[in-house]
Structure 1
């Protein structure tokens, strides 16, 4: 079946008409969607003036919501967010504080800590264990007022 020139022209005009209708309705839908979105949106001016939410670029949002307690052990300053823990840690003897720092904050093994102090692994374990017991007792006193 061969297509005549008139039939090809009819198909082209029909397709062009279809495309125009589709584009027109797509534009109408986009316009309606944009208007609906505008009705739901709230401007920045409304937020800042009516609700008194100031827009700023200060470092307030970056600050920690917790109080910070710096503690210096082995020449390094660590920042704790628990004041009782910081006070209890500072109440320990210097060597026990250093062992706790090296083990928990410095990620040293018990064997490595023993090599630093010239002790064995079991001695370091004893220092850690007794230091943790002392910390627990001190924390109970600070939190509850009784041992």
Structure 2
């Protein structure tokens, strides 16, 4: 068994004998080794070139998938960023004016009786609990809840909207 560097020296010592038995000269042997070295160098260059091209294509695909935010700064898109003023439809209940953006809703609320509008204002716009609304109209909490349900039902009827929309 060969240990350490002994194998290299043993092989190199036997190699010239191997080639001399076959009739291969030392110059042919050197030329063959140079040929193998050139082939190996060409192989390494090809592998490195292919790896570089693969990386370039991978980066190109990644850049194509990325979204640039530069287009947001163009003037042609700035006009879409401005908010348009909405039309507002006011209605007044109990001395308070509420502005609505929906014309149909404003028309439907204006048709309702004063007490119904007050219940809608307190429950949906001022977010008062049913107990407080009941105290204001002189009724119990459950009666105020029922009044609110009936007010919402009347509002739906005025707007012509089904219950489940």
TM tier, shorter chain? 0.5 to 0.7
Asked which structure has the greater CA Rg, the reply is: 2
2:36 corresponds to: none
- 1 or 2 for the larger relative contact order (CA 8 Å, sep ≥6)? 1
Q: Is 1:96 the counterpart of 2:109 in the alignment?
A: no
Mapping 1:1-147, distance limit 5 Å? 61=82, 64=85, 66-140=86-160
Q: CA deviation at 1:62?
A: 5.7
Calculate the TM-score normalised by the size of structure 2: 0.47
Unmatched 5+ residue regions in structure 1? 1-40, 42-46, 52-60
Give the number of aligned pairs.
89
Q: CA deviation at 1:122?
A: 1.3
Quick one: structure 1 residues 84 and 77, their matched pair in 2 at CA, closer, same or farther if it must change by over 3 Å?
Answer: same
Calculate the TM-score normalised by the size of structure 1: 0.52
What's the RMSD between the two structures over aligned residues? Answer: 2.7
Secondary structure in structure 2 of the residue aligned to 1:107: coil
